Amino acid sequence: MSTTPGPAGSTPQSPVGIDELLERVRAGYERVEAREAYEAAQAGDALLVDIRYAALRERDGLIPGAHVVERNELEWRLDPQGSHRLPEATSHALRVVVICNEGYASSLAAQSLHQLGLHRATDLVGGFQAWRGAGLPVE
């Protein structure tokens, strides 16, 4: 049986597949549906963050008011203690809704934000495609 080494001095852990990892990650917070994310953003209660890569944004459009942050910059742009943060990223209490194309990469991104102390971070079930499918604004 193959194992993955854990931190120094710990017992090795069995490898986990991506499906199991997603299940574990998603069990740690409540995801939001497109309409709920839209209403929260409209009310000023959530910051929408689009992590889709440029080709998808160019092909499918943008969510009005969403901040485009490349996935590889996400933690630096949303860490309230970071020197490269977005102006809106001023508190660990910030509610962030991460949006990818279909709602997979955004789950892992939301978990990463939790590790930075952004415990209200979540992601959009079904991603941008669910947003568009719900008839919500796209530009």
DSSP states along 60-112: H---TTPEE--GGGHHHHH-TT-TT--TT---TT--EEEE-SSSSHHHHHHHH
Q: What is the pLDDT of residues 58-95, one digit of tens each?
A: 999 999 999 999 999 999 999 999 999 999 999 999 99
Q: Is the pLDDT of residue 4 over 80?
A: no
pLDDT of amino acid 2: 46
Specify the pLDDT at position 97. Answer: 98
DSSP 66: P
Is the pLDDT at 7 greater than 80, yes or no?
A: no
**Contact (CB, 8 A) for 76 and 82:** yes
In this prediction, residue 60 carries a pLDDT of: 97
pLDDT at 61: 97
Cα 16–Cα 119–Cα 57 angle in degrees, nearest 5 = 75
Secondary element (H or E) of residue 99: strand 96-99
pLDDT tens-digit series, residues 19-45: 999 999 999 999 999 999 999 999 999
